[in-house]
Amino acid sequence: DTEVTQTPKHLVMGMTNKKSLKCEQHMGHRAMYWYKQKAKKPPELMFVYSYEKLSINESVPSRFSPECPNSSLLNLHLHALQPEDSALYLCAKSVGGIGNTGELFFGEGSRLTVL
């Protein structure tokens, strides 16, 4: 099962709000990822979780806080964001693990707008 479900699909928030993005998948994985994608640009890696532990943080500002409560869930907590953080946030999983990082299965993304 390669399905990855992200909620919400759309989110509008003010710069003082706290919100969370959720990602859920089933049937196993070894690594899960958060990517950020701006319009007409490729996805940019933010975080990687391997076996539910944070393995990579691509120097992401602390206003983004990832969490992996269990093997099926990945959250991205948002606080005090800036308008330039508006983007499509993508969750992905790989069955092959962090060393086999190319075959990723992405969710449909959460479109975030920061006012």
Task: Give exposure, 37-61, as e/b (b: 16+ Cβ within 10 Å).
Answer: beeeeebeebbbbbebeeeeeeebe
| CB-nearer residue toward other proteins: 73 or 80 | 73
**Mask of contacts with other proteins, 10-49, x by CB under 8 A?**
---------------------x-x-------xxx-x--x-
- 8 Å CB contact between 104 and 90: no
> Taking CB under 8 A as the rule, does residue 76 contact other proteins?
no
Could you tell me the two tokens for 37? 């994608």
Could you tell me the two tokens for 15? 């710069």
| CB-nearer residue toward other proteins: 68 or 92 | 92
| Residues forming the site for other proteins (CB under 8 A) | 2, 4, 31, 33, 41-43, 45, 48, 50, 55-56, 58, 88, 90, 92, 98-109, 111
